[in-house]
Amino acid sequence: MNISRSRKWIMGAYLGPLILGLGGIATRVDAQNAAAPVATATAQAADSKNDDLRKRVTAALHADPYFYDDHVSVSVEKGVVVLRGFVYSDWDLRDALRLARQAAGDMEVVDDLSITEGGRR
């Protein structure tokens, strides 16, 4: 009986900390993974908000009957609306900025547009 008791004690002495140690590691890993979805959800919410803003500005540019928007692209970078591409006159440039600012509300609009003289095609 002494031999079997000592084997049980030895196995318990080695396996006990191992099992407890794995439980502790699993708890830390679970805690790390539990925090990750919060950051991911926040990033997804920001991406969704930026995408909605981009769609709203793009729709406003496209809906205006006097503005030719085929060569203008809209992106939103860190909450700032950026207009890229080209327009055909200074008047078109002013229209693009006016329309984008109206649709963007209180968000900043950055002009990265070029003016190409020559008229519409």
Range of the structural domain that residue 13 is part of: 2-115
Give the CATH number of the domain where residue 95 resides. 3.30.70.1770
DSSP 88: S
32 belongs to a structural domain: yes
Give the predicted TM-score (pTM) of the model.
0.63
Query: Shortest CA distance to 102 belongs to which of 59, 70, 73?
Result: 59
Q: How many angstroms separate the CA atoms of 111 and 117, rounded?
A: 18
Instruction: Examine residue 10 and state whether it is found in any structural domain, yes or no.
Output: yes
Q: How many domains does the chain fold into? A: 1
Residue 58 lies in a domain: yes
Q: Is residue 121 in a domain?
A: no
Q: Digits of tens for pLDDT over the chain (121 positions)?
A: 555 555 555 555 555 555 555 555 555 555 555 555 656 777 777 788 899 999 999 999 999 999 999 999 999 998 899 999 999 999 999 999 999 999 999 999 999 999 998 765 5
